[in-house]
Every structure is written in structure tokens, then in C-alpha cells.
A and B are shown apart, each in its own frame.
Chain A
Amino acid sequence: MTDDDVRRLREMLRIRRFEEKCAELYSAGKIRGFLHLYIGEEAVAVGAMRALESEDAVVATYREHGHALARGIPMDRLMAEMYGKREGCSRGRGGSMHVFDARTRFYGGNAIVGGGLPIAVGLALADKMLRRPRVTACFFGDGAVAEGEFHESMNLAALWKLPVLFLCENNLYAMGTRLDRAQSQTDLAAKARAYLMTAESVDGMDVVSVEHAATRAAEAVRRGEGPVFLELRTYRFRAHSMFDAELYRDKSEVETWKVRDPIAALITSLKARDAATDAVVAEAEQAVSAEVERSVQFAEAGTWEPVDDLTRDVYTPIEQPAGVRP
């Protein structure tokens, strides 16, 4: 087993166990608001992030815990954000849906479906104008494809040859609306090709396939060949949010997809090649479990922002320089 295999496994486990803990904490009333779990889709975030460099930018959606962890936002600060504590990565002001982190160039955590795409286009425009060989990775779901902002952004990125890597996480459902009930054309890569963009559909349940496709795509984007679109075919194992009775899909469909669980699939393929896998998995599980526990302790020990600070961060204090230093 290579180091890369271990890292892929461990990163996916971190997301899975973190979110299982979040669901538990939601039931316990520690986490409130909307909580959207990524369980089942871990291969997408982990594979795609491994294709990025530290100076690249990430724009994600409201189902972004996986992206945040895979991008390197510390789990303890993410958990504190879930709690709404001051030690959270967005100072507690954002919560589950609005994770931001300047250090890893993580620009949200955008909970308006499709709303992140224009921002990604603009981040890439700045890079192009400043001649920085960077990639902006923009994650969105199949639901976003129905939004006007998707089409406007695809057009503008292609027209101006901007360095955006569009990563469409097709989990087949926009909340409860299945793709074929929302789209006349369900081949999402075809929509990107209509804008003369290089586009590919990838098995989003296989972390290695995602990583290879994303790496090829990111290299092309970085070379200045313009935007690339990847459709990552995946599936959400859990409900849309904690308030979803899942009336819109059959249990059998979920079970069929669970057979392709990206973590179990990776372990199976590793076992076929390497007898030592069981021990490595156990070790990874143990390390992740300890990290999750530490993150809960960190969040529990965190502090509530004083109400006196309620209106801070609406405007930038005058003494602070504008924007984030590029």
C-alpha cells in the first residue's frame, strides 16, 4: 500500500467520521440550523483536492464539510464553527453552510445554489489579469445546473478562457428533485461542451478516478488552456438535511448505491493488493476517531462571542487594509 493510498483512505474517513459525529451532535442539540451531510460523496472532495496546489482557490457549496477538511481546514476549527463558537473557522458567524478560511483560500460555504460560480469566475479573472498560474476549483451540485448563474458563468469563463476548474457533483437529486425531473438534457458534460469547454464525466465513487481526472484537468487549466468541466457522478447516502423524510427516493436505490461506498470500495481494492490493509485501516480509524474526539472537546471548550460584538464584521474597520493580500 502506498502513502497516497493511506492518505486517500484517511482523508475520506476523516470526513465520514466527522459527519457521523455531527449528525449525533445535531440530535443532541449541539449543532443547529441546517446540516447537510456529504456522506457517500467523500471521494469527490478528497480526489479533487489532491489535484490542487496551496495557492489555488476553492469555492464550495453549503454541503462543504468534506471540502473544508480535505482542503486542510483543521477539524477542530471546523467543529467549533458547527457549534457557532468564536474559535470556529468563520468565528462562528457562518455555521455549517458558511465555512471560510483565508489560509487555505477557501471562499465558502455558499448556500445560494449556483451563487458561488460567478465568484469563482472572478477569482480566476483576477489570477489571469495578474498573470498568476493558479486554479480556482468551483464545486456545485446538479441542482445548480438549472440556475441562470451556471450558464452565465460557463459562458463567461469559456469566453475569457479563465482558469476555473468546474466540479459538478452530480448526486442525482436537487434536494428532492431527481435530475431527469428537472433537466431536459441530463448529460451534464454536454452542457459544458455547448460552451466549447473541455468536459468529462467521471466515476465520483472512485477516489483514484476523481484524482486522476482532476489532476489532468487542473494541469490544463493551469497551463492557460481555459476552464475545464468535470461531472463527478456520485450519490448522497443520507437525507438532504436533517429535516428530510426522503419521500422522493426508494430505500432500495440508496442501498444499491451504498454497495459502491467509496471508502469500502477503496479498502476492498487495497485488500486485493495488500495483506496489511486491515491493520492500516484500523490504525487510520483509530487516529481519525481520536481527531474527531479532540475536535468535539475543542468546540465544547470554545467560547461564545459576546453579544456586545454583535455588529462586528459588517464593515471593515478603517485601520484594516482592504481585501486579502494576494
Chain B
Amino acid sequence: MNTSTYRDAVRSGIRDALLKDPRVFLMGEDVGKYGGSYAVSKGLLAEFGPDRIRDTPLSESTFVGAGIGAALGGMRPIVEVMTVNFSLLALDQIVNNAATIRHMSGGQFSIPLVIRMATGAGRQLAAQHAHSLEGWYAHIPGLRILAPATVEDARGMLQPALDDPDPVLIFEHQTLYNMEGPLGDDGKRVDIERAAVRRPGADLTLITYGGTLGKTLQAAEMVAAEGIDAEVIDLRSLRPLDMPTVLESVRKTHRAVVVDEGWKSGSLSAEIVTRLVEQAFYDLDAPLARVCTAEVPIPYPKHLEDAAVPQPSAIADAVRAVIGHRG
């Protein structure tokens, strides 16, 4: 087993897909000559040429829509949007077309399209480059939403996403690109239907995904020193949610905390908590809790950005509070 950065793992997944299927191509802003705004696609232009590594104008709506059209025309496009905030310029194409055409056409046309984008805070990029809006997309029937949190998933989620006949959005947390982790050489496929238990535990279930997985695992180690054995679940797929895995864990631990870099109001964390209340109410020994981003646009200064988003200490505090609760 070798190690790799998350960035190199994403690139490796894209490269494998390009080698395997001539219908696959990558399209987006600065994916070619520039090498990708997060350097994910660096070197791919030289290897695959400008037909398959396509630099686009700054026209999010049209290059995402062109991805939809190309998918309808028999290609397997990977569209890169620089960051989730920019994807709002393509919201019409994603929500009104990609997610609806199969339904509106009575099942005649599927859209085998993959859209990748960076998400999340942590690099002092302020309020137009650092939000976590994947929960919004998870609201939409017709889409599949993935959030690779590990180096292995960063590479291994792409091929199953491309094999999916319907549109898949992959959210890569921007603080993860430099993360190093183990990566097998077998190009193993990831089961994108299933959440993963990243740390087994008996006392409480921590439910998270993407950029907050590492922080949540740190928090689990912090409370482990105090004798609290937390289980950590990485959702991996935000739509559909793998509730069987979550429920199995919560029915064992009887306590849960959801960690989500989105805001609380109308959020993915709200959805998970609601489903636990609906489906596991009598299994719970304590009120559910959430650690989310403060209800503020992401601020620029480091100390305020850190204070806005979930941190290991806040997660550990939430765990202690839930464990300490004696209903």
C-alpha cells in the first residue's frame, strides 16, 4: 500500500477513467493549461490533449448544460466547477435539467454526467469561495451526491459515479487536497451506496462526511482518553442517505451527534436528525445533538473562520454533553 495526496488520488481516478473509456472527457474552467485551480488536473492536458481536457470560458451554466447535452449525446463528461459557490451560476442546469429530464421524458433519457466541485471553508477564502452547499443539492430528487472524505474514496468514487446512468455531484472539501493517506494500487471501486464506519465504538455515534471526518476522528480520540468510545460514521453519499448503516450504529450506541459544515437551518444535519427521530426514537437514550457552522457567511480572518466551522474541541464538547445527559 502506497501513500498519496487526496489531490493526486482524484487525478489518478480521472486518469484511469480517461484511459478506460474514450467517451470520458474533462471540462471546466482552467482544467487544461492552468492545471486546475486546485491542481487536480495538472499534466492531463499533455497526456490526453485539448479535445478531452477542455478549458471552458467562465460560463458555468453553459458548460454544465453542455455536459448534460454531451451526456445525452452519448459521451461521459466529467465537469469540474471550481467551487460550490460558483455552481450556483449553473443551478438552473443542475436542478431544472440534469435532475428532471429523465422524469419529464417519462424515462426516455438518462443523464450520465459527473460534476465535481470543491466545497467548504478553512483556507481563509471568505464568503464567496468557502460555503458548504452540498446539503442543498442533496435536497433534489434525480441527483446523487457524493462526498469523498479519504484518499481512497477520492480516487475510488469516480468510476462508480461515471457508471451511474444518472447525474452525480462529487464534493471535494478544499482542505483535503493536501491530505496524505494510504492508497492501494488495485484501483478498488468504492461502494457509493454505503456509508463507512471509520472508527468502531460502543458509546455514541458521530455522523459526518467530507471535510469534517478528520476533525470528528480527532474528537473521538480526545474523548477516548476520557473513556468515551465513539463510533464514527462517514456518510460518503449525501443522497441517497445510507440510513441502514446509521440506524444500525445508533441502535447499538443509543446516542448520536451529527457533525456537518453546513449551517443548521434547513440542512442535511436537520434531515439526519429528523430521520433518527422518525426511525429510532425509542432507541435513543439522550437528545440528539449537532455541531454545524455558525449562522454567518464564512468570514475572512483566520480566528473567525475557525470559530465559525466545526472544530474537534466543539465536537468533543458535544459528545461529552450527550454522554453526560441522563434523561
Give A residues with C-beta under 8 Å from B: 57, 88-94, 98, 100-102, 107-110, 112, 115, 117-127, 129-130, 136, 148-149, 152-153, 155-156, 159, 311-316, 320-326
Does B141 count as interface, using CB distance less than 8 angstroms?
Answer: yes
Q: Which of A102, A121, A130 contacts B74 (CB 8 A)?
A: A130
Going nearest first, the 5 A-B pairs with the smallest beta carbon separation are A122-B69, A118-B65, A126-B73, A91-B106, A326-B74
Asked whether B75 is an interface residue with its Cβ less than 8 Å from the other chain, the reply is: yes
Residue of A nearest to B74 (CB): A326
Minimal Cβ-Cβ distance residue in B for A311: B141
Q: Judging by beta carbons under 8 Å apart, are A115 and B106 in contact?
A: no
| Residue picked from A100, A115, A126, most chain B C-beta under 10 Å | A126
Residues of B within 8 A of A107 (CB): 69, 72, 101, 109
Q: A324: which of B51, B109, B164 is its contact (CB, 8 Å)?
A: B109
**In whole angstroms, how far apart are the Cα atoms of A62 and B109 in the complex?**
18
Q: Determine if B265 is an interface residue (Cβ-Cβ < 8 Å).
A: no
Most buried by B among A121, A122, A124: A122
Q: Would you call B108 an interface residue if the criterion is a C-beta within 8 Å of the partner chain's C-beta atoms?
A: yes
Cα separation A125 to B296 with both chains bound (whole Å): 41
Asked if B62 is an interface residue, CB under 8 A from chain A, the answer is yes
* Complex: chain A residue closest to B106, CB-CB: A91
Which residues in window 46-75 of B have CB below 8 A to A?
51, 56-57, 59, 61-75
Task: State in angstroms the CA–CA spacing of A325 and B108 once bound together.
Answer: 11
Task: Contact check, A122 vs B67: say whether CB atoms are below 8 A apart.
Answer: yes
CB within 8 Å of A: which residues of B?
Answer: 25, 51, 56-57, 59, 61-75, 77, 92-93, 96-97, 101-112, 141-142, 144, 163-166
Determine the distance from Cα of A136 to Cα of B73 in the docked complex, in whole angstroms: 10
A68: min CB distance to chain B, Å: 13
B142: chain A residues at CB < 8 Å are 314-315
Chain A, Cβ-Cβ closest to B111? A323
Residue in chain A with minimal CB distance to B69: A122
Contact of B66 among A108, A122, A315, A322 (CB under 8 A): A122
Contact yes or no, B62 A118, CB < 8 A = yes
8 cross-chain CB contacts under 8 A: A90-B108, A91-B106, A92-B106, A98-B105, A108-B101, A126-B72, A314-B141, A316-B166
Given A94-B104, A112-B96, A324-B108, 6 more A-B residue pairs with CB atoms under 8 Å apart are A57-B73, A115-B92, A117-B65, A124-B73, A126-B73, A324-B109
Whole-angstrom distance between the alpha carbons of A320 and B109 in the complex?
11
Q: How far is the CA of A149 from the CA of B166 in the complex (A)?
A: 23
Contacting residues, chain A, for B51 (C-beta < 8 A): 129
The answer for the CA separation of A312 and B107 in the assembled complex, in Å, is 8
Q: How far is the CB of B71 from chain A (nearest CB, A)?
A: 6
Whether B165 pairs with A322 at a CB distance below 8 angstroms is yes
In the complex, which residues of chain B have a beta carbon less than 8 angstroms from the beta carbon of A153? 62, 65
What is the CA–CA distance of A295 and B61 in the complex, to the nearest angstrom? 38
Q: Find out whether the CB atom of B104 lies under 8 angstroms from the CB atom of A100.
A: yes
Query: Do B62 and A149 have beta carbons less than 8 Å apart?
Result: yes
With contacts A117-B62, A118-B62 taken as known, whether A100 is within 8 angstroms of B106 at the C-beta atoms is yes
Kindly state the separation between the CA atoms of A322 and B160 in the bound complex, as whole angstroms.
Answer: 12
Question: Are A159 and B93 also in contact (CB < 8 A) when A119-B65, A121-B66, A314-B102 are?
Answer: no
Task: Check A93 against B104 for contact (C-beta < 8 Å).
Answer: yes
Contact residues in B for A312 (Cβ distance below 8 Å)? 107
A324: chain B residues within 8 A (beta carbon): 72, 74, 108-110
Check A90 against B106 for contact (C-beta < 8 Å). yes
Taking a contact as CB atoms closer than 8 A, the residue among B66, B75, B141, B166 that contacts A118 in the complex is: B66
Q: Which residues of B contact A130 (CB under 8 A)?
A: 73-75
**Which residue in chain A gives the minimum CB-CB distance to B142?**
A314
B220 to chain A, nearest CB (A): 34
